[in-house]
Structure 1
Amino acid sequence: MTKVRKLLSNRDARLFMAGQILSTFGDSALWLALGIWIKMLTGSASAAGLSFFMLALGTLAGPAGGVLADRMRRRPLLIATNLVTAALVLLLLLVQDGGQIWLIYVVMFSYGLSASVLGPAQTGLLQTIVPEDLLGDANSVMQTAQWGLRLITPLLGAGLLVAFGATPVIVGDVVTFLIAVATLLALRMRDESPTPSEQHWLAEAAAGARYIRDTPSLRQLTKVGALIMIAFGLSETAVFAVVSQGLHRPDAFLGVLISAQGVGAVAAGVTAAPVMRRLSEGLLVALGMAGAAVGFLLLTASSTTAVLVGAALIGSSLPWISVGIMTLFQRRTPPELMGRTDAALNVALSLPQTIAIASGAALVAVIDYRILLLGVATMAAVSSAYLLTRPEQRRSAGAEPKRTESPASAV
C-alpha cells in the first residue's frame, strides 16, 4: 500500500487516472447497452454480437493511431479525440427502430477508430506521468477502479435501457468523455512536442512491430495475447446464448454476469501489483489465463451459481492479464516508441479478436454454444502453459533493459 499511496500523492497521476477510469465507466455501460438494445430490436444474438465486431474492426487503424501518438503532443491529441468521439456517440439518439441498427454499427466502428488513437496516446502519457517503479501499481489501480465501477455499470446500463430507453446511457457516456477532457486540461505536466521525423509514416508505423519482434519477452506475450483474445472473441456472442439457452433468463440478465466479472476483477486487481513484484509480469499473465480457462468451462453449466462463479473467474483473469502485459510493455519500451509499440500490440490482439467475434457470431447459430466454450477454454489453457514454459517470462520484473529508438530500428 505504500507504493499506492506514493502513486496517489502525484497530482497529475491522480487526475489522469480518474479521468480515464470515469471514461471507461461510460464506455462499458454504453457498449453493453447497445448489444442488449440490438437484441431487443431484432431478437438476434448474432446481430447483437456484430456490434462488438464493428468496434473491434475500427481498432485495426491502430498503427496510424500509434504514429499520431508518437509524433504529436499527446495531451492535445487526447482532448481532441475525446471531443470528436463524444459528438459521434450523440448520433445514437437518432436510432428509433430495428431498421436503423446500421447507425449503431457505424458509431461502434467509429468508436473503434477513436480507440486506436486514444489507447496509444493514453499509454504513452501514463508512461510519462508515472515513475517506472510505479507503473505496475498505476495499471493495477486503474484496472481495479475500472472493474469496481463495472460492478454497477452493467446493471445501471441495462436497467436504464429497459426502463427509460437508450437516451440516458448515451448522454451519460458523452458526459464521461467531457470529464476526461476536463482532467486532461487540468494537468500541470509539460507536454513537449516530439522530434519531427523525416521517415514515411508507413516506416514509422512499422517500428513498433519491429520492436516487439526483436524483444523476446514482448514477442511471446504478444503471441499468447493474440490466442487468448481469440478465445475471448469467440465467447462474446456465446455469452448471450449462455443467458438465454443455458440459464433460460431474459437478455438483461447479461448485466448480472458482467457484474460478477466485476467482482472477480476487483479482487484480482488489488493483488496484481504485489503478485507481479513477487513473480514477474509474464507469470502473472500465465496465472490469469489459467483462471480464464476454468471460468470458460464453468460457463457451460446449466446452473446459475456455476455460471456466476465462472464469470467471476473470467473477470479475475482480466486484470492479471492486462496489468502484466501492459506493465512489461511500458517497462521495456522507450518513450519515443511507446505509442507505436502499443498500437502494434493492439493490432496484434484486436485483429484475431475481430475475426473471432465474427466467427463466434456465426458459429453460435449453428453449433451448441457449450462446444464453442470448450474450445475457448482449451485456448486459454494452452496460452497459460506456453508462458509457464518460457524462461524469459520467469525473470524478475523489469530485468530486461529498454532500448532507445534508432533510425535502423524504425524502418
Structure 2
Amino acid sequence: MKTLLGRPDFRTLFVALTVSMLAESVLVLALGIWVKDLTGSDGLAGATFLALSTPMLVAPLAGWVVDRIPRRAIFVALNVITAVLLLPLLAVRRESDLWIVYAVAAGYGLSYIVLGATVSALVPELVPADLLPDANSALQTVKQALRLIGPLIGAGLFSLLGGARLAAACAVCFLVAGVVGMMLGRRQRTIEASETPARVTWASEVSAGLRHLVREPALRKVTICSALSMIGLGVGESLYFAYVDQGLGRDAAFLGILVSAQGVGGVAGGLASARVVRRFGEIGTVAVGIGLFALGSLALVQPTLWLALPASVLIGMGLPVSMVGTNTLLQRRTPAHLLGRAATALDALVSGPQALAIGLGAVLVGAVDYRLLFGVIGVAMVFVGGSLWCARRLAPSVSSAVPDDAKAPAAS
C-alpha cells in the first residue's frame, strides 16, 4: 500500500475514488429511504434499486464510450456530471415528485456503470502490471469499508439533513472527486485510431469486449464460474430473513448484525486479496473466493448463533477476494483498447444473473426449506470453485509478463 500511495497518479485516483465511493455508499440507501418516507410504500422504495440497475441494459454501449475517450477525461467528466445530475433532487418535496427520484436513480446507475469500467481501464495505465493486485486490493478494501459504514452514515444524515440537503452534500462530494481527478497526470494513453480494425460495423465494435471474454480461455472460465457463484450468492441473499426468523428465532433487525459481519469480512478479504493473488494466481484467487462462499453457505445450514457470525464473515470475505482476482486477470489478459468494453461485458454477465437470482430465491424460500437451499448452494459452489481451481494454470502468475497475444489488438 505504501508503494502504491507513493505513486502520485495512483494516490490522486485513490483519493478521488474514496470521496466518490463515500457519496455513492450514502446515496444508494438514502434514495430508497427517501421514497419510503414520501410514499410509505415498501414496494415503491424497492423500485428505487430497480431504477438503479436498469441501465445495465446499455452496459456494452457504455464500454464502447470508455474505449473511445481518454479515461482521465471520462473520470473527471463523470464525477462532475453526476454532481449536476443530483441537483434535481433539491426540488423533491412530495409524492408527486417521485418520478424525479427514479429518473435521477437511473441516471446515477448509468454513471456508476461507466465509472466502474473507466476505473478498471485506468488503473493499468497508472501502475505497472506487478502492482495491479495491490491496486485492486486497495480499492476493494475502501469499497468494502464504505459498504460497512456508508449505510449507517447515510441513514443518520438523512434523518439529520433530509433528502434534499443530503443530495446536495453528495453532489459536493462528486464535484470534489472530479476536481481531484483533474490532477491526474496527462500521460495516460489515448486510444489511437490505428488500434481499431478498419471496415468493422458499429455493432461488432460494441460487442468486441464480449467476444474477447468468450475467446480468451482464462477469462471465459472465470466469467462462467463467477456468474454461477453470483447466482448462488443472489439466491442466498433472499434466504437470510427465513434464516434469522425461523432458524435463529430473532426479529428482522438482527439481520443488520449479520450484514455488519459480512462487511467486516469484506474489509479483511480486501486487505488479504493481493497476497492471495501472488500466492495462487488470479484464477486460483477467484476459486478461493468462491470457496469462501461455499463454506459460509454450508455453515448456514445449521442455524446457530456461533456459526451465523463466522459464516457471514466468510461470505463477506469471498466477494473482494473474487473481485480482485477477476479484475487483475481482466486487466492483464485484455488489450488496453478493449478494457472498457470487456469490463462492462463482464459486469453485465456476472451482475445480471445475480439480480435475477435474488428474485428466484424469494420464490424458492416460500416452497423449499431454507436449510436445504443453503446446502444446495454450498455444494454447488464447492464444485464451481473446485473446477476453477483445477483450471488455475490457464493464466500465468502475476510476476510473469503479459503474453504477446494479450498485447496485440484482438481481431473483430
TM-score range (shorter-chain normalised) is 0.7 to 0.9
Offset, 1:133: 0.8
Letter in 1 for 2:14: M
Q: CA deviation at 1:354?
A: 3.2
Structure 1 residue aligned with 2:6: 9
Structure 1 residues 118 and 394: CA distance shift in structure 2, 3 A: closer
SS of corresponding position for 1:150: helix
**In structure 2, how many angstroms separate the alpha carbons of the residues matched to 1:88 and 1:234?**
33
Map 1:46-61; keep pairs closer than 5 Å: 48-61=45-58
What amino acid is aligned across from residue 208 of structure 1 in structure 2?
G
What's 2:339 paired with? 338
The corresponding residue for 2:143 is 146
The alpha carbon displacement at 1:66 in A equals: 1.2
The more displaced of 369-378 and 387-396 is 369-378
- 1:183-224 per-position Cα deviation (integer Å, ceiling 9, x unaligned): 211112324542234533311122212222221111100001
Distance in 1 (CA, whole Å) between partners of 2:96 and 2:303 is 34
Which AA in structure 1 matches 2:390? T
Q: Distance in 1 between matches of 2:235 and 2:145?
A: 25
The partner residue of 1:69 within 66, 71, 87 is 66
Q: 2:284, 2:34 → 1: CA distance?
A: 39
Structure 1 unmatched ranges of 5 or more: none
Aligned to 2:114: 117
Q: Secondary structure in 1 aligned to 2:405?
A: coil
CA contact under 8 A between 1:230 and 1:353: conserved in structure 2?
yes
Counterpart amino acid of residue 113 in structure 2: S
Partners of 1:52 and 1:161 in 2: how far apart?
A: 17
- Distance in 2, matches of 1:164 and 1:323, equals 36
Residue in structure 2 matched with residue 212 of structure 1 by the alignment? 213
Deviation, 1:288, is 1.1
Relative to 1, partners in 2 of residues 1:170 and 1:120: Cα closer, same or farther, differing over 3 Å? same
Alpha-carbon distance in 1 for matches of 2:289, 2:302: 21
Q: What is residue 82 of structure 1 aligned with on the other side?
A: 79
What is the CA-CA distance between 1:325 and the residue it aligns to?
A: 0.3
Which residue is 1:311 aligned to?
312
In the TM superposition, what is the alpha-carbon distance from 1:77 to its structure 2 partner? 1.7
In the superposition, the TM-score normalised over structure 2's length comes to 0.85
Aligned equivalent of 1:403: 405
Q: Evaluate the alpha carbon distance shift between residue 344 and residue 143 of structure 1 in structure 2; reply closer, same or farther with a 3 A threshold.
A: same
Q: Deviations over 1:295-338 (max 9, x none)?
A: 34455666566443333222111111010000011111121121
Aligned twin of 1:224: 225
Go from structure 1 to structure 2 and tell me whether the alpha carbon gap of 1:132 and 1:395 turns closer, same or farther (over 3 Å shift). closer
Bigger mean CA deviation after superposition, 278-287 or 142-151: 142-151
CA distance in 1, matches of 2:6, 2:215: 36
Equivalences for residues 150-169 of structure 1 within 5 A: 150-162=147-159, 165-167=162-164, 169=166
Query: Displacement, 1:78?
Result: 2.0
Give secondary structure in 1 for the equivalent of 2:16.
helix
Match of 1:264 in 2: 265
By how many angstroms is 1:390 displaced?
1.9
Contact kept, 8 Å, 2:335 with 2:408, in 1: the verdict is no
- SS of the aligned residue for 1:152 comes to helix
Residue 134 of structure 1 and its aligned partner are, at CA, apart by: 0.4
Change (3 A) 1:58 1:241: farther
Q: 1:406 to 1:273 in 2, by over 3 A?
A: closer
2:172 is matched with 175
Contact 1:207 1:337 in 2 (8 A): yes
Bigger mean CA offset, 16-25 vs 96-105? 96-105
Is the contact between residue 93 and residue 167 of structure 1 (CA under 8 Å) also seen in structure 2?
Answer: yes
> Which whole-Å CA distance do the structure 2 matches of 1:261 and 1:191 have between them?
36
* 8 Å Cα contact 2:298/2:379 also seen in 1: no
